[in-house]
Structure 1
Amino acid sequence: MMKLPSLHHITDQLTHTVKRFPWVVTVAICKAAVLWRHIESAGNEEEVNLMTRLAYPLFLATPLMMAIQLISERKQWRAPFIIGTNLLAFAILTFYFFTLPTEPASGDFYRFMLFMVASHLFVAFAPFLGSGKINGFWQFNKTLFLQSLNATLYAVTLYIGLLIAVKTVEYLFNITYLIKIEGDLFVLIAVVFHTLFFLSKIPPKLVELDEETSYPAGLKIFTQYVLLPLEVVYMVILYAYTFKIIFQWKLPDGGVAYLVMAFSIAGILALLLLHPLREYAKEKWVRLFSKRFYLALLPLIALLFIGIFRRINDYGITENRYIIAVLAVWLAVTTLYFLTSKLADIRWIPVSLSAIALLLAIGPWNIFVVARNSQIRTFEQILTGNKLLDAKGQISGKVSVRSQDYRQLESIIQFFRSRKMTGLEPYFAGLPARKQDTFAHYNQMEQILGDHIINKPSELGINNNYVNYSSRAIIKDSSSVPVQNFNHMKFIQINLTTQVNAAPYALKTSGHGRFIDIYKDEKKVTTLDLASMIRKLKSEYGIYSDQIPQNSLMITYKTSSEDIAIVFSNINRGGDSYYGEAVLLYK
């Protein structure tokens, strides 16, 4: 009969976990508080950005301080040294916080994710670096892996159960929560409960793991009968593709690099999960499969190199391609290491990957600097090849270009736009100073580039008649309009057949949505032309921007007796048709 743990036992275990990992638990609580504030501050751009900046170092603090505690237990550090090491980690994370911009961009998130990978891998090997047996290292990581799955299962089950309870109370008692209960509850379970549950099962004496010999039967069954057969299936597919390109005598598609990398990582993971079985007489097939797997990887690694470097040669380096290229080199080195070394140490895998993740995020070789410089070189090479650069290195003249070259030039501009990077400005003579609206800045680049291309838009595969504007990414107070002169508000959609009743007014669209006819008491009082608004927006922002001030998306009609305003949240034109979402304001 199963014996359920008593409340006293649960309390004791919780107390023990908090005492053992005080810094980690404190960070988890602080992280939850920051995420709660982030959720409740939706719509307040400055507050959300601040909470994002705080969350990044707090997320990194969890694995770092956990690693410090585990190392201190293994090395038997004294309390002052433990405190000093944690304070040093805190100082480094504080410095990291102040290096983040006030408005974190995609590049900052990318760098944060690399730090997350490095810090989590650091936990995997830190207590066993320089001491301990490989078996202890494997047993420790087995525990982390299984406990992570276990904690996630409990957390998901608990969250779903509590969410149903919360919604039931809301429904039965007609309660309106003053907080965003779904998100806040998720943070409580995913950050606080998950962390405590995970920490509670970490072995207290890591030294004893060196002599641990247990191997979960379920893990063996999953790896041997599920993961490995899938690996074989994908290996057959990749080898078939390899034979196909050899037979057709053509280069592989660049995207195959991602497939080979995913297959290789999954295969190495499977071998790591089976590693202890290598020493069992009945499981000699594991050692044999390991050698055969790494041998089978060699042709696929060649395919990986050809695929990724073809992609780089054609389109330049991006962050993703740089990471895949570095991992391709790592995979080649790792494969040769395990094929040639008789005493191959599996700790090499997390140690090397952690170092790579850290180095890719910092220094002059980091992914952002390398990708930026590569895209600039590619941009200049295309311009030079099409004779679009003058003696000053600026775009001039008028030429006809291949549609492929033009699309790549636009793609590079989009690369810089999406990352809010600078670097292309020297190529554009007369480019206005960069405004807060970076989309408009790069739209002007596209317009200047287009002025020097004599091809028709249709020849380049461009729909030059399509425009799209919105205020969804606008910040601060420019997203509001005064409403004190209006008594009524109505949400409307503009399309080809819009008909809106807002007594005493009525709105109808005509001319494929271009004209908005306004009626009062069934008599037409005016017609608003959206084309004039589109022309003005296009002259200032190009063909696209999601940072249009709200007053620039407003069209009005005002007389001594009438006062009507239509405020668009977004408006777009495709061909001759106009569409949008707006708010109708009237007295």
Structure 2
Amino acid sequence: MLRFPSIKNLTYGVEQVVRRFPLVVVAAAFKAVMLYILIESPPVPNPPPLYLKTTLVLFLALPLFLSLHLVAERRKWSLGVLAAGVLGVVALLVLYYFTISPSPIQRDYYRFGMFLVCAHLLVSFAPFVGYDEPNGFWQFNKTMLLQFLTATLYAGTLYIGIIIAVETVRFLFDVTYSTRIELDLFVLIGGFFHTLFFLNGFPAQLDLLEAQKSYSRGVKLFTQYVLLPLEVVYLLILYVYTAKILIQWQLPEGGVAYLVMAFSVAGIFALLLLYPIRDSAEERWIRLYSQRFYLALFPLIVLLGVAIFRRIGEYGVTENRYLVAALAVWLTGVTLYFLISKKDDIRWIPLSLCVASFLLAVGPWSIFAYSRQNQAERFGSLLREYKLLDNSGKIASADTLPREDYERLVSGIRYFRDRNEINTLTPFFSALPDTKNQQEVATQMEYQLNKAVNVKELQLGNSGRVDYAISGNTDMFGVNIRGFDYMISFNLYSDASREDEAGKWKLTASDRGSKLVLSDINNEEIAAWDMAARFTEIEKQYGMSTFLVDSKFLTFDRPGMRLKLEKFSRSGGYYSYQGVLLMKER
């Protein structure tokens, strides 16, 4: 007979989790509160940085405090030593808080992701540092994985059940909720209760795990008959591709680097699942497969290196390329270790990855500092190579420039634009707009660059991408709405649509985005704009590339309404645009 846990048992389980991991529970609760505030706060142009930055810090606090609790429990720390450890972790989190930009940009989120990976990897091995217990380490991580999957199942089932109840009440009783209840429940269940479910199943005595010999037959069958055959299939595909590029004597595509990395990680994960039975007399094939797997990796590692360094040679170092190159070096080291070492200590895998994640995120050697330096040097080097600079170091007129190198220069401008670091290139340009708007400054840079050079084979036709931005202030939050009653902001691409909050009107980008249609709640057309025709008009006036465009080209006036675009682009015959629609009461 199925027995559900009683309230008493649930209360006892929560109490045990709070007693054992108090800091983790507190961090999870505050994280849920911060996420709730972010969800329910009205959108504003410049939101206060406190909430978002604090949320990022709390995401890191959870695994760090969990590692601290586990180490303190394993080593039986005194209250004083634990307090010192807590102060150390808090100091690191406060330091991290002040390194985040007031308005977090791509670099901040990238660094946060690397720190998050580092912190979670720390949980996997921290309690076993200084203890020669590889089997205990494996059993601990197996328990964590199964507990995470179980907690996800419980939390997911609970969330779906409550959402069905919420929507049923909405449908039957015509109830309107004043909050974004679906997201609020997701934060509460996924951000807080999931943590409690997860922590409730942690093994209490880590020192006893080394002697534990249990191994799930289901894990063995899944790995042996599902994961490993798939690995063999992908290995054959990658080897056939390697043979193809050798026969054709061409460099591999840059994207193959990610395929090799995915294959390698999946293969190592499969071998980790089989670790406890690798020396079993009945399972000698595992040891043989392990050696053959790492030997088979070497040609693919070479392929990986050639692919990523080809991309670096063409377009310079970016964060992604630096990271993949670093992972290729790490993969080479791991492969050599398991081929040469007589003691296959699997703890080195998360330990080395944790250290690498941290080192690549900080310092002058970090993926951010080095890629920024490399892109700036490449940009300046290309300008000097084609003698594009005058005596004052500014871009001036020059002879014809190959299209490939022109695209490298444009790529450099967009690299710094996307990272809010466009000021890095300002010494090379003159008469730039006095604004903090990165898009506007970058657009003017591309305009000056295009005017200064003649580019071979620049025409891209319908298969290329062209972006336009209105001149002057492109801040859509500063749109003058005098004389209008409604404003609908939109960011549309091919065949997408956008409804206003009241549900009265809908904007649709139809026919691959070449036509923008305004319709009412009954889908009856109110107005339509021929975006393709306007794009052609802009093209004739400004040519191909990214320019500051006079606002008249991106403003459409109709009786009782005004369409004002901020960005307008075409890629492969598909159009996309963003802006606002102003309307009077009809």
Task: Check whether TM > 0.5.
Answer: yes
The 8 Å contact of residues 36 and 187 in structure 1, kept in 2 or not, is answered as yes
Q: Which one-letter code corresponds to 1:566 in the other structure?
A: R
Question: What is the alpha-carbon distance in structure 2 between the residues aligned to residue 369 and residue 200 of structure 1?
Answer: 41
Q: Secondary structure of the residue that 1:583 maps to in structure 2?
A: strand
Task: Name the stretch that deviates more: 138-147 or 61-70.
Answer: 138-147
Corresponding residue of 1:124? 124
Identity between Structure 1 and Structure 2 (%): 43
Corresponding residue of 1:369? 369
Distance 1:139 1:434, change over 3 A: farther
Corresponding residue of 2:498? none
Task: Name the stretch that deviates more: 19-28 or 210-219.
Answer: 210-219
The 8 Å contact of residues 519 and 527 in structure 2, kept in 1 or not, is answered as yes
Corresponding residue of 1:112? 112
Superposition pairs of residues 61-72 of structure 1, within 5 angstroms: 61-72=61-72
Question: What is the alpha-carbon distance in structure 2 between the residues aligned to residue 488 and residue 216 of structure 1?
Answer: 60
Question: What is the alpha-carbon distance in structure 1 between the residues aligned to residue 228 and residue 93 of structure 2?
Answer: 40
1:454-475 deviation per Cα after TM superposition (whole angstroms, max 9, x unaligned): 2488546697986356999948
Superposition pairs of residues 342-357 of structure 1, within 5 angstroms: 342-357=342-357
Distance 1:232 1:471, change over 3 A: farther
In the TM superposition, residue 433 of structure 1 has moved relative to its aligned partner by: 5.1
Distance 1:263 1:181, change over 3 A: same
Corresponding residue of 1:585? 584
Distance 1:553 1:210, change over 3 A: same
Q: Which one-letter code corresponds to 1:19 in the other structure?
A: R
1:357-408 deviation per Cα after TM superposition (whole angstroms, max 9, x unaligned): 0011101111111111111222223323333233444322232122222222
Q: Which one-letter code corresponds to 2:124 in the other structure?
A: A
Corresponding residue of 1:518? none
Question: What is the alpha-carbon distance in structure 2 between the residues aligned to residue 379 and residue 195 of structure 1?
Answer: 47
Corresponding residue of 1:23? 23
Question: What is the alpha-carbon distance in structure 2 between the residues aligned to residue 552 and residue 40 of structure 1?
Answer: 37
Distance 1:310 1:129, change over 3 A: same
Task: Name the stretch that deviates more: 48-57 or 127-136.
Answer: 48-57
The 8 Å contact of residues 400 and 454 in structure 1, kept in 2 or not, is answered as yes
Corresponding residue of 1:86? 86
Task: Name the stretch that deviates more: 290-299 or 61-70.
Answer: 290-299
Corresponding residue of 2:468? 467
Question: What is the alpha-carbon distance in structure 2 between the residues aligned to residue 384 and residue 267 of structure 1?
Answer: 46
Corresponding residue of 2:359? 359
Distance 1:269 1:585, change over 3 A: same
Q: Which one-letter code corresponds to 1:346 in the other structure?
A: I
Question: What is the alpha-carbon distance in structure 2 between the residues aligned to residue 511 and residue 250 of structure 1?
Answer: 44
The 8 Å contact of residues 74 and 127 in structure 2, kept in 1 or not, is answered as yes
Counterpart selection for 1:542 from 548, 553, 578:
548
Distance 1:531 1:565, change over 3 A: farther
Give the RMSD, CA atoms, in angstroms. Answer: 3.6
Corresponding residue of 2:162? 162
Question: What is the alpha-carbon distance in structure 2 between the residues aligned to residue 443 and residue 41 of structure 1?
Answer: 32
Question: What is the alpha-carbon distance in structure 2 between the residues aligned to residue 500 and residue 326 of structure 1?
Answer: 52
In the TM superposition, residue 49 of structure 1 has moved relative to its aligned partner by: 4.1
Q: Secondary structure of the residue that 2:91 maps to in structure 1?
A: helix
Q: Which one-letter code corresponds to 2:32 in the other structure?
A: A
The 8 Å contact of residues 486 and 585 in structure 1, kept in 2 or not, is answered as yes
Corresponding residue of 1:278? 278
1:46-94 deviation per Cα after TM superposition (whole angstroms, max 9, x unaligned): 4364322111110000000000000001000012221221122112212
Question: What is the alpha-carbon distance in structure 1 between the residues aligned to residue 197 and residue 576 of structure 2?
Answer: 55
Q: Does 1:418 align with 2:424?
A: no
The 8 Å contact of residues 40 and 179 in structure 2, kept in 1 or not, is answered as yes
Task: Name the stretch that deviates more: 266-275 or 249-258.
Answer: 249-258
Larger Rg: 1
Corresponding residue of 1:568? 564
Corresponding residue of 2:500? none
Residue-pair matches, total = 554
Corresponding residue of 2:321? 321
Superposition pairs of residues 226-305 of structure 1, within 5 angstroms: 226-305=226-305
Question: What is the alpha-carbon distance in structure 2 between the residues aligned to residue 96 and residue 351 of structure 1?
Answer: 22
Q: Secondary structure of the residue that 2:151 maps to in structure 1?
A: helix
The 8 Å contact of residues 422 and 438 in structure 2, kept in 1 or not, is answered as no
Question: What is the alpha-carbon distance in structure 1 between the residues aligned to residue 262 and residue 407 of structure 2?
Answer: 29
Report the TM-score when normalising by structure 2: 0.85
Q: Secondary structure of the residue that 1:178 maps to in structure 2?
A: coil
Distance 1:445 1:472, change over 3 A: closer
Report the TM-score when normalising by structure 1: 0.85
Corresponding residue of 2:495? none
The 8 Å contact of residues 432 and 445 in structure 2, kept in 1 or not, is answered as no
The 8 Å contact of residues 137 and 210 in structure 1, kept in 2 or not, is answered as yes
1:482-525 deviation per Cα after TM superposition (whole angstroms, max 9, x unaligned): 46x86999858698697999xxxx9877987989xxxxxxxxxx
Q: Which one-letter code corresponds to 2:94 in the other structure?
A: T
The 8 Å contact of residues 159 and 186 in structure 2, kept in 1 or not, is answered as yes
Task: Name the stretch that deviates more: 355-364 or 38-47.
Answer: 38-47
Corresponding residue of 1:181? 181
What residue ranges of structure 2 are gaps of 5+ in the alignment? 489-503
In the TM superposition, residue 541 of structure 1 has moved relative to its aligned partner by: 7.3
Distance 1:11 1:510, change over 3 A: closer
Q: Secondary structure of the residue that 2:112 maps to in structure 1?
A: helix
Q: Secondary structure of the residue that 2:360 maps to in structure 1?
A: helix
In the TM superposition, residue 30 of structure 1 has moved relative to its aligned partner by: 0.2
The 8 Å contact of residues 570 and 582 in structure 1, kept in 2 or not, is answered as no
Distance 1:250 1:151, change over 3 A: same
Q: Which one-letter code corresponds to 2:205 in the other structure?
A: K
Question: What is the alpha-carbon distance in structure 2 between the residues aligned to residue 10 and residue 509 of structure 1?
Answer: 59
In the TM superposition, residue 156 of structure 1 has moved relative to its aligned partner by: 1.6
Superposition pairs of residues 195-234 of structure 1, within 5 angstroms: 195-234=195-234
Q: Secondary structure of the residue that 2:5 maps to in structure 1?
A: coil
What residue ranges of structure 1 are gaps of 5+ in the alignment? 516-529, 558-562
Q: Secondary structure of the residue that 2:562 maps to in structure 1?
A: strand
Q: Which one-letter code corresponds to 1:308 in the other structure?
A: I
Corresponding residue of 2:491? none
Distance 1:508 1:409, change over 3 A: same
Question: What is the alpha-carbon distance in structure 1 between the residues aligned to residue 529 and residue 317 of structure 2?
Answer: 48
The 8 Å contact of residues 318 and 372 in structure 1, kept in 2 or not, is answered as yes
The 8 Å contact of residues 487 and 582 in structure 2, kept in 1 or not, is answered as no
Q: Which one-letter code corresponds to 1:583 in the other structure?
A: L
In the TM superposition, residue 45 of structure 1 has moved relative to its aligned partner by: 4.0
